[in-house]
């Protein structure tokens, strides 16, 4: 297993280290899921790797397992939140141009309302 790298000045690294509180809904050795502080849907969770990867753009060979695991967790949480039939939206913003504001890789899991396409 790759070692977990943390950044002191990263908000989500601080949530991983429990230095900043969050409503955690899932945790294992390599990943964490918690409620978004500003929910854009009745269900709005963030699923993150514990290791500090700033953007999807920064992923490299060796990160395959991490990304797969995030989506397995999303699948599990979508089931627990009863979203399998109603539908759910997953979003990764990579870079400022895509609207990323927290530079620690995270997948948004949203559900519980209709979603439209294309997104803004």
Q: Of the listed pieces 10-18, 21-29, 69-77, 110-118, which binds Zn ion according to CB under 5 A?
A: 10-18
Which residue number, 38 or 61, has a Cβ lying nearer to ligand AMP? 38
- Residue in this structure with the two tokens 């620690």, named with its chain if needed: 104
Enumerate binding residues for ligand AMP (CB under 6 A).
Answer: 11, 22, 36-38, 46, 93, 99-102
- Class of residue 10 by CB neighbours under 10 A (exposed 0-12, middle 13-18, buried 19+): middle
Cα(50)–Cα(105) distance, integer angstroms: 9
Interface size with Zn ion, residues (CB under 5 A): 6
Among ligand AMP, Zn ion, none, residue 25 binds (CB under 5-8 Å by kind): none
Which of these, 112, 107, 116, lies nearest to 43 by C-alpha position? 112
* Active-site annotation holds for 106: yes
Q: According to the binding rule CB under 5 A, does residue 13 interact with Zn ion? A: yes
């Amino acid at each position: 297993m790759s070692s977990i790298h943390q950044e002191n000045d990263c908000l989500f690294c601080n949530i991983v280290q429990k230095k900043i509180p969050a409503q955690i809904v899932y945790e294992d050795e390599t990943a964490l899921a918690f409620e978004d502080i500003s929910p854009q849907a009745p269900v709005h969770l963030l699923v993150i790797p514990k290791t500090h990867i700033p953007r999807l753009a920064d992923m490299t060979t060796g990160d395959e397992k991490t990304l797969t695991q995030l989506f397995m967790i999303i699948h599990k949480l979508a089931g627990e939140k009863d979203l399998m039939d109603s539908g759910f939206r997953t979003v990764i913003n990579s870079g400022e141009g895509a609207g990323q504001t927290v530079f620690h890789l995270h997948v948004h899991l949203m559900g519980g309302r209709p979603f439209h396409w294309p997104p803004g």
